[in-house]
Structure 1
């Protein structure tokens, strides 16, 4: 992994997007990178750990170049003050999943990892997608997430005005409850979803009787006017739950 003013100056125009072919060629030569290859971009919301910028490839053969991205989309700027730590990764055989795992091992995070792109000229688009992935991390978490794992949530954070409307429309009555009561219903819904819709397994996870879970879910259905047994209405509930998860306020 490499870092320095020289690397940042060469990476900056590529990460900003719209670099001319001549600039891409000069940057490739200066960085020692092929113009075409399997690349991903990482955007971190906190300073990169010192261990992440050690020289040389990692165990997967991936090569890393670190810089700092200034600016970004309005959503990114609001969510992350100042410059963000950004890495361009020439991927090894294991691909972006291994790159994400490597960052977790180093204690980095929160962070977003872009999909794979095929050339240095596409790094600007990859940086924007990695920044969107970062915005799907829960506030205060140390998550490292790949965009392809968070596409529904990425759609939500990309359109904050629609996310706000969705939350109000679906969970409006739920949000009027006292915090403890609201948290109990949200926790039960999360457990039920994580248990594949099994009331029995959710009850075991929550340490309560299955009838208690059933009654909480029925109450949530009444409050939201949506049924967990109707797929389209279940989608509304799951997306609203994602918006609530990503908000700075506790459930």
Structure 2
């Protein structure tokens, strides 16, 4: 086995090891050791040191006297490039100049005897190192508590390396976020690899990872980050991950069973509450209160539709955290197509308060965007236990409609839809759809830009500035298009009834 000087300096086994003098990063494969007295003999130094070796001086030596300079020259003459001495001195400029001239790296160590033994074991007895690593990983798994977080903490204390749980994209699930954006992109290459695997990072270090078999749809990875490449520690940590991933998988499987049971309980409870509406029994109301759900007050429903394959149980906490980060204290319940959530206010909210809440929910959706596509709808405020179901129903309609409204960021709030929301069911009938297509037919010959501009303009409540911002256009461009639309359709968009008819027509023919 071999190891570079930088790898030794970064290895937590070698407590108190530091670079005393000399540049470079030579690789070592063997260890030689001498007492300070023996090191005064050129013959002894020649026998203990050579190319690829580390010469360790076992007792204290004064690095400032002339005999140490002579030792440096005798060591360099053997081809040895690394000398380790018992020292706690600070780096000396004169010593550094001599070491650089001789091509030597001088390491300071607090306990040269222990350093010599540990380094010899590391370089020459890889099987013993592996066996010791497996034994310590097994004991760590036995000592750790029932959570993955506790397991990672025990592994950190045992191996002096930070362990993290990642998804296949490199996003940390548990443990400190130790990766830069560039390193996280490299870690995203984990998907499809075997185990354990090593990924070289842009930062110069390596990420060693092993999949964790927990029964999840997309298995997470247990990983450890090394700041520099070092083959010996890489090999030992690979077997550590093999063992620790089993312990992590067991904990995740148990936690998953608990999470799924709680998800079924929440979903069933919400279903009963919605179905019974105003006729909820005292027992049902008590169970809802026991779950921490406030029933009195005014409720604003939120529907988050998940697009694509999403683990709804595992990612519920992300939705709750995103809402909480924007100041929304919400109950979040898993459903077949996403999540139902609602926030409760003690009194009837004023319109400006509702607007602020909707904006915060929209900001929460933006927090989810990097890792999950969603369609989000927000209902109106309704009071009492029955108000939860009423607002969630509206939020569900708005979320489904949001899916076809890229102009609004796949987000809709029922209060902003007004009368159009009440007439939405009618706009989907066979009677209205042909009429809507005929009404907007003059705009079809503009490569879709006029139709898109009209739809966005009406969604943004006839605001030229907001429409321009949404579409990434200059305000004058939007104004010109609106004028052209009015001429082509022979309409006046200042008329509320005309705007309503066109708004419904745009929603009807939206793809």
Normalised to the residue count of structure 1, the TM-score between the two structures is 0.66
Could you tell me which residue of structure 1 aligns to residue 305 of structure 2?
Answer: 45
How many Å separate the matches in 2 of 1:159 and 1:209? 31
Matched position secondary structure for 1:28:
helix
CA distance in 1, matches of 2:389, 2:273: 6
- Equivalent residues of 1:167, 1:243 under 8 A apart: yes
The C-alpha deviation readout for 1:71-94, integer Å capped at 9, x for no partner, is: xxxxxxxxxxx5442123335996
Structure 1's 23 and 172: CA in aligned 2 closer, same or farther, altered over 3 A? farther
Q: Tell me how far 1:42 sits from its aligned partner.
A: 1.6
In 2, distance between residues paired with 1:243 and 1:158? Answer: 10
Q: Secondary structure at the match of 1:238?
A: helix
Distance 1:57 1:231 in 2: 38
Residues 152-210 of structure 1 deviation map (CA, whole Å, 9 limit, x = unaligned)? 33224232445x53443254164488x55362442454577666579xx9995475995
Cα contact 1:114–1:130 (8 A) shared by 2: yes
Decide whether aligned partners of structure 1 residues 206 and 37 sit closer, same or farther in structure 2, where only a CA change above 3 A counts.
same
Residue pair 2:305, 2:337 contacting (<8 A) in 1 also: no
Give the corresponding residue for 2:291: 31
Contact between 2:330 and 2:341, CA under 8 Å: does it hold in 1?
no
**Structure 2 partner of 1:86:** 340
Cα deviation digits, residues 9-46 of structure 1 (max 9, x gap) = 32221133435232442222331233313322222221
1:123-180 superposed Cα distances (whole Å, 9 cap, x missing partner): 2222211112113314274523221112233224232445x53443254164488x55
What CA distance in whole angstroms lies between the structure 2 residues aligned with 1:123 and 1:84? 17
Contact 1:228–1:234 (8 Å) recurs in 2: yes
Deviation at 1:238, TM superposition (A): 3.1
Q: Does 1:127 align with 2:389?
A: no
Aligned length: 223
The worse-fitting range, judged by mean Cα deviation, of 49-58 and 34-43 is 49-58
Match of 1:102 in 2: 364
SS of structure 2 residue aligned to 1:115: strand
Q: Is the 8 A contact 1:15 1:127 kept in 2?
A: no
Does residue 426 of structure 2 align to residue 159 of structure 1?
Answer: yes
Q: How does 1:1-251 map to 2 (within 5 A)?
A: 4-18=263-277, 19-46=279-306, 47=310, 49-50=315-316, 51-54=318-321, 58=325, 60=327, 62-68=329-335, 83-91=337-345, 96-97=357-358, 98-107=360-369, 109-139=374-404, 141=406, 142-162=409-429, 165-172=431-438, 174-175=440-441, 180-181=445-446, 183-187=448-452, 189-190=454-455, 196=463, 204-205=474-475, 207=477, 210=480, 214-215=483-484, 217-221=486-490, 226-228=491-493, 231-244=496-509, 247-248=510-511
CA distance in 2, matches of 1:36, 1:65: 17
Structure 2 CA distance for partners of 1:116 and 1:189, relative to 1, 3 Å: closer
RMSD of Structure 2 on Structure 1 (CA) = 4.1
The change in CA–CA distance for 1:137 and 1:36 in structure 2 (over 3 A counts) is same
- After TM superposition, the runs of 4+ consecutive aligned structure 1 residues lying more than 6 A away are none
1:37 and 1:24, CA in 2 relative to 1: closer, same or farther beyond 3 A? Answer: farther
Does the aligned pair in 2 maintain the 1:44–1:84 contact within 8 Å?
yes
Q: Secondary structure at the match of 2:431?
A: helix
Q: Hey, what's the Cα distance between the residues in 1 that align with 2:412 and 2:479?
A: 34
In structure 2, list runs of 5 or more residues that go unmatched: 1-258
Cα separation, partners in 2 of 1:6 and 1:238, compared to 1, 3 Å: closer
C-alpha distance in 2, partners of 1:240/1:160?
Answer: 8
Counterparts in 2 of 1:83 and 1:232: CA distance versus 1, 3 Å: closer
1:73 is matched with which residue?
Answer: none
> 1:204 & 1:63 partners in 2: Cα distance?
38
Cα drift, residue 214 of structure 1: 4.3
Q: Distance in 1 between matches of 2:397 and 2:269?
A: 23
Greater Rg over alpha carbons, structure: 2
